[in-house]
Amino acid sequence: MIRKLVFWLVLVPLAIVILMFATANREVVTVSFDPFAPHAPAASVSVPLFVLIFVLVILGVIIGGIAAWLRQGKHRRAARLHHSHVVALKREVENLN
């Protein structure tokens, strides 16, 4: 029930806003990767503006996810250590019983 509610109240309006954004920003822009020749770049690509923005947002989410994953490494390591201690203690309790 909650999943359907979230779908209709959040995801459908968000999809509508994204579609409106994409149709409003269809102009083709040139992305240049050559800072030394701005008028005749050696490496450039022409894409619609909304594609560029979507790609950059997705790239930002991926980079943020990787950064969060790397920062949580010490917590995952501690969880593995505690899990191995729990397993050892359970084995010891079973041997005592």
Counting residues of the chain whose pLDDT is more than 70, the rounded percentage is: 100
Which range among 8-12, 57-61, 89-93 shows the weakest confidence by mean pLDDT?
8-12
Q: Which residue has the tokens 């770049």?
A: 41
The distance from CA 92 to its chain's CA centroid, rounded to whole angstroms, is 43
Q: Which pTM value belongs to this model?
A: 0.69
- What stretches of 1-97 adopt beta strand conformation (E)? 28-32, 44-48
What is the average pLDDT value for the chain, to the nearest integer? 91
CA 75/CA 86 separation, integer angstroms:
16
pLDDT of residue 6: 81
At 44, list the tokens.
Answer: 């450039």
Residue-wise pLDDT for 56-86, tens only, equals 999 999 999 999 999 999 999 999 999 999 9
